[in-house]
Amino acid sequence: MPLHTDASPLPLDAQGILELAARSMFQLFSTMSQGMFLVDLSGRIVWVNEGYRRFLPDLGVHSVHDFVGRMVEEVIPNTQMRQVLETGQPVLVDLLTNKAGTFVVSRIPLHGDDGRVIGAIGIVLFDHPETTLQPLIAKFAQLQRELDDARRELAAQRSRLPVAGPGVRRAKHTFASFVGASPAATEVKRQARRAAQSQSPVLLLGETGTGKELLAHAIHAASTRSQGPFVSVNIAAVPDTLLEAEFFGVAPGAYTGASVRGREGKFKLADGGTLFLDEIGDMPSNLQAKLLRALQEGEIEPLGSNQLVPFDVRVVAATSRDLAALVRDGLFREDLFYRLHVLPIRVPPLRERRADIPALVEALADDLALRNGIAPPELLPDALALLGAQAWRGNIRELRNVLEQAAMRSETLTVDAEQLRQVLRESGVEPAAPTPDAGGASTGDDGAALLRPLAVQVAELERRAIAAALSLHGGNKLATARHLGISRATLYERMGQPLANTDK
Ligand SMILES: Nc1ncnc2c1ncn2[C@@H]1O[C@H](COP(=O)(O)OP(=O)(O)OP(=O)(O)O)[C@@H](O)[C@H]1O
């Protein structure tokens, strides 16, 4: 292709092309950047473009005449232009913070014909990077957090301190972290607080993302074992073949390839503290028997050892599966079920406590802001109403994810209903239409509902209580009646069924 045509008159010589390229790039930077200025070899400002002038008031300079002719350090605090003049090395991207704000800047030396530095050019690529570069900064903040976590875990493994090995920590949450003041949330916290006072096993039952793990931490933190370790095992996440070693540990040199020092299992690591067994419904059946024996005897037998090791652990188990149904189907041992089912707590799904949504949104937004180094996203009223109407099958975890994605996409840090709809659709959920009280302003228990005849309201409450207790106990009527503090006969009567003697 010819370089020199009438339509595109490119110079033919290399020098000409270079000069043209330099001029074009200079113009590009001048228009695309937020501002530019030039200093001579002594560091004196000799030129400033139109864009840069708007920073002058924040730098405390009243006119361009007070800027041009001054030494760069006098008017731009923290500038690194002098280093560029002295070393001749460009700084392509840097953050500069001074009284005018934080800026992403470039500094490029200017060379004379003989190759020597004769000055430098300063370019403000972005101002307010905390908003313009938000996705980048958020990503960086997240990577930094992950790096910090990994470093902490590594340091603790090295020093073999049980408090910070993977899954071994002091409790991260207390009851104050469990946000919610609706009747359902208050009741679950009441039950969990009572459970914290006891040494018996606790079984947390509830859909995914309802806060079972958070409650397990809180129970530990409020128990007499709070100074001991909190150790968790997510049974669904560990391959079946590794679970036994994970639970009970491995004796030194137990098998070819086993470490000479052996490995402590989670039971031993949790000694004196709480062992949280998450997704207990996924426990393989051969291990169920071993877990039952360990719980009954208070002793474990590490793999490859024939010695029994005592442990002192309080077990909190959790599952999102219907454990009673698993027992009925022969997939979960009944004796283990009863061993764990001493203090069952049903953790309600979010749709049963919609009144908590505004408070949860506020707490989650603050937490997101803290973790990502941003201002908390602010939800407009239509956005809150939309959130209040969703089914939330993934419960609070899903709410958190939706908020996080919406906040990351919003350029203004306010989130409206349309942005949320988009996020919901992209995660495969068809958004439900907002309902008038969906923002949680009303709990649904007040207003017109409270003015209905008392008998109607009492009957409705009774129906809901029985349904909830039946579901918690997998349809077991005896356990349901006990839970509700009524006789089995009363339960049948309220359910409108004849008393069945064969029923448990
Ligand atoms: N009441 C609450 N207040 C504030 N945050 C909550 C609450 N409940 C849950 N969360 C947050 O929601 C997320 C999911 O909670 P958590 O992991 O405890 O749920 P889970 O029931 O154990 O879920 P899974 O069954 O999937 O393990 C976490 O980020 C947790 O901090």
**Residue 449: which pLDDT band, with cuts at 50, 70 and 90?**
low
Mark whether 373 and 340 lie in a shared domain: no
- d(CA 16, ligand 1 centre) in Å: 65
What secondary structure does DSSP assign to 324-382, as a single string? HHHHHTTSS-HHHHHHHTTEEEEPPPGGG-GGGHHHHHHHHHHHHHHHHTSPPPEE-HH
Evaluate whether residue 241 is within a structural domain. Answer: yes
Distance 195 CA to ligand 1 centre (A): 19
Tell me which residue of 240, 224, 216 sits closest to 315, measured CA to CA: 216
Residue type, 274: T
Which of 188, 207, 213, 370 should be mutated for ligand 1, with most atoms under 8 A from CB? Answer: 213
pLDDT(257) > 90: no
Q: Identify whether 292 is part of a domain.
A: yes
Task: Give the residue whose CA is nearest to atom 10 of ligand 1.
Answer: 211
Q: How confident is the model at residue 445 (pLDDT cuts 50, 70, 90)?
A: very low
Q: Which two tokens stand for residue 186?
A: 């208050």
Residues 172 and 292 in one domain: yes
pLDDT over 90 (residue 320): yes
Q: Is the pLDDT of residue 441 over 80?
A: no
Taking the centre of ligand 1 as the mean of its atom positions, its distance from the CA of residue 215, in whole angstroms, is 8
Probe residue for ligand 1, chosen from 210, 217, 316, 367 as the CB with the greatest number of ligand atoms within 8 Å: 210
Predicted pLDDT at 259? 59
Could you tell me if 212 and 117 lie in one domain? no
Quote the pLDDT of residue 334.
95
DSSP-based three-state secondary structure for 301:
coil
Mean pLDDT of 378-402: 91
Answer with the residue of higher pLDDT: 163 or 469: 469
Ligand 1 lining (C-beta closer than 6 Å): 178-180, 206, 208-214, 278, 318, 320, 360, 363, 396-397, 400
DSSP 77: T
Contacting residues for 104 by C-beta, under 8 A, at least 6 apart: 93, 94, 95, 96, 124, 125, 126, 129, 133
Å from CA of 212 to ligand 1 middle: 6
pLDDT, position 375: 79
- The candidate with the shortest Cα–Cα distance to 351, out of 360, 340, 364, 343, is 360
pLDDT of amino acid 321: 92
185 vs 12: which has the higher pLDDT: 185
Mean pLDDT of the chain: 83
Q: What per-residue confidence (pLDDT) applies to 173? A: 83
Q: Is residue 503 part of a domain?
A: no
Task: Look at the chain and report how many structural domains it folds into.
Answer: 4
Q: Tell me, in angstroms, the distance from the centre of ligand 1 to residue 175's CA.
A: 12
- Across 85-99, 158-172, 466-480, the highest mean pLDDT is recorded for 85-99
Query: How far apart, in whole angstroms, are the C-alpha atoms of residue 295 and residue 287?
Result: 12
Locate 403 and state its tokens. 């908020």
Tell how far the Cα of 399 is from the centroid of ligand 1, in angstroms.
Answer: 10
Closest CA to 290 of 245, 322, 342: 245
**For range 316-320, the mean pLDDT:** 96
Q: What pLDDT sits at residue 304?
A: 85
Q: Which residues contact 84 (CB under 8 A, 6 or more apart)?
A: 90, 91, 107, 108, 109, 120
Q: Is residue 331 scored above 60 in pLDDT? A: yes
Element (H, E) at 169: strand 168-169
Q: What six digits make up the tokens of 24?
A: 């074009």
Provide the pLDDT confidence category of residue 442 given band limits of 50, 70 and 90. very low
Q: Do 195 and 79 have their domain in common?
A: no
Mean per-residue pLDDT, 289-314: 91
Which of ligand 1's atoms lies nearest the C-alpha of 278? 27
> What pLDDT shows up at residue 482?
84
- C-alpha 497 to ligand 1 mean position (Å): 38
Q: Which helix (H) or strand (E) holds 471?
A: helix 454-472
Domain shared by 188 and 333, yes or no: yes
User: Is it the case that residue 499 has pLDDT exceeding 60?
Assistant: no
Query: For residue 472, what are its two tokens?
Result: 């918690």
Q: How far is the CA of 8 from the centre of ligand 1 (A)?
A: 63
pLDDT tens by residue, 457-469: 777 788 778 877 7
CA atoms of 378 and 397, how far apart (whole Å): 19
Whether residue 356 sits in one domain with residue 339: no
Q: What is the CATH number for 230? A: 3.40.50.300
Ligand 1 pocket test, candidate residues 353, 396, 403, most atoms within 8 A of CB: 396
Residue 383 backbone phi and psi in degrees, to 5: -70, -40
The fraction of the chain above a pLDDT of 90, given in percent, is: 47
Q: What is the reported pLDDT for 171? A: 58
Same domain, 359 and 480: no
Looking at residue 238, its pLDDT comes to: 87
Residue 407's Cβ-count burial label (10 Å; 0-12, 13-18, 19+) is buried
Ligand 1 center to 329 CA (angstroms): 28
Q: What is the mean pLDDT of residues 301-306?
A: 87
Helix 285-297 vs helix 240-248: crossing angle, to nearest 10:
10
Q: Which residues contact 327 (CB under 8 A, 6 or more apart)?
A: 333, 334, 337, 474
Cα–Cα distance for residue pair 124/32, rounded to 1 Å:
10
Of residues 471 and 482, the one with the higher pLDDT is 482
Lowest mean per-residue pLDDT among 171-185, 193-207, 287-301, 330-344: 171-185
Give the CATH number, domain containing residue 51: 3.30.450.20
Q: Which atom of ligand 1 is nearest to the CA of 185?
A: 1
Look at residue 373 and tell me if it is in a domain. yes
Least confident segment among 391-395, 430-434, 436-440: 436-440
Residue 194 shares a structural domain with residue 329: yes
One domain, residues 362 and 488: no
Nearest to 341 by CA among 254, 401, 280, 419: 280
Residue nearest ligand 1's atom 18 by CA: 211
Q: Please count the other Cβ atoms lying within 10 Å of the Cβ belonging to residue 504.
A: 10
Cβ(218)–Cβ(177) below 8 Å = yes
Model pLDDT for residues 104-135, shown as the tens digit of each residue: 899 999 998 888 999 999 999 888 766 666 66
Question: Could you tell me if 234 and 321 lie in one domain?
Answer: yes
pLDDT band at 481 (very low <50, low <70, confident <90, very high): confident
Q: How far apart are CA 348 and CA 361, in angstroms?
A: 17
Q: Which residues in 416-452 are b (16+ Cβ under 10 Å) and which e?
A: bbebbbebbeeeebebeebeebbbbebbeeeeeeeee
Cα Rg, the chain, nearest whole Å: 33
Determine the residue of 177, 179, 203, 214 to mutate for testing ligand 1's pocket, defined as the one with the most ligand atoms within 8 A of the Cβ atom.
Answer: 214
Q: What is the pLDDT of residue 324?
A: 92
Query: What's the domain range around 54?
Result: 33-128
Report CA(338)–ligand 1 centroid distance (Å).
25
Instruction: Give the residue whose CA is nearest to atom 31 of ligand 1.
Output: 214
Are 184 and 292 within one domain?
yes
Atom of ligand 1 minimally distant from the CA of 215: 18
67 CA from centroid of ligand 1 (Å)? 55
Q: Rounded distance, CA 352 to CA 395, Å?
A: 10
By alpha-carbon position, which residue is closest to atom 24 of ligand 1?
A: 208
User: Is position 446 within any domain?
Assistant: no
Alpha helix (H) residue ranges in 68-202? 72-75, 81-87, 129-132, 134-159, 183-197
- Mean pLDDT of all residues in 412-439: 79
Residue 2 has pLDDT above 70, yes or no: no
Query: Which CATH number do you get for residue 466?
Result: 1.10.10
Q: Pick from 397, 401, 402, 404 the residue to mutate for probing ligand 1's pocket: most ligand atoms within 8 Å of its CB.
A: 397
| Separation of CA 65 and ligand 1 centre (Å) | 59
Residue 3's pLDDT is what? 46
pLDDT digits (tens, 9 = 90+) for 11-55: 778 888 888 888 888 888 888 889 999 999 999 999 999 999 999
- Calpha distance 84→486 (Å, rounded): 83
pLDDT above 80 (res 495) = no
Q: Which of 222-226, 288-292, 302-306, 335-339 is least confident? A: 302-306
174 within 8 A of 219, measured Cβ to Cβ: no
What pLDDT sits at residue 128? 73
Query: What is the atom index within ligand 1 of the atom nearest the CA of 399?
Result: 12
Assess whether pLDDT exceeds 70 at residue 6.
Answer: no
Closest by CA to 325, choosing from 474, 477, 504, 469, is 474
